[in-house]
Amino acid sequence: MTDPTTPNPNESPEDPASTADTSANPEVDASSASTTPTSRRRYLIVASAVVILLAAAMSILFLMQRDSPLEAARQACGAGREDWAMLGDDGRSLTLRSVGEERTGLKLEQLQCYWAELKVPDAVIAEIEGTRALDGRQSGEWEDMGASWIYHPDNGLQMIITLSD
């Protein structure tokens, strides 16, 4: 009787019969098994693809969850009370209310912080600061934002800033 682990000199190494079940015999060197490198290579390719897909998904989630410029400005400049700087429309609008003679609100320094954070152009700031109660609602636009505001000495400035689509 012949030993099944002894190689047959008539079989070539490329013969599928000679490598049929090398994993069943622990005495056979693992590096000599022809399916092991292929299995490892497939595993590494699949693992790499999964890692790349996970990284892409995490990047997309990070970008989706990042604050809008309006939310970032509110965090940087503060809100005082909630009704002085209100975010709306899922972070796409911001209503600012300043102090007036009969009303509390954001101080001029806080408004200037918002304007700096949101990169409001000097021309629009000049229009805001020059608005009188008789002028009614005014508006201005810059980059990817727009604003409308109204001013009365008793109530202060009410300004609504929105992100453009």
Mark whether 134 and 79 lie in a shared domain: yes
Average of per-residue pLDDT across 1-25: 54
Mark whether 75 and 51 lie in a shared domain: no
Closest CA to 142 of 126, 164, 116: 164
Domain presence at residue 4: no
**DSSP strands (E only) in the chain:** 85-88, 93-97, 138-142, 145-152, 156-163
pLDDT for res 18? 47
How does pLDDT run across 23-48, given as a tens digit for each residue?
555 555 544 445 577 888 888 888 88
How does pLDDT run across 55-74, given as a tens digit for each residue?
887 777 665 545 799 999 99
Domain ranges, residue 24: 16-65
Domain presence at residue 132: yes
State pTM to two decimals.
0.60
Mark whether 61 and 83 lie in a shared domain: no
Mark whether 76 and 125 lie in a shared domain: yes
Domain presence at residue 151: yes
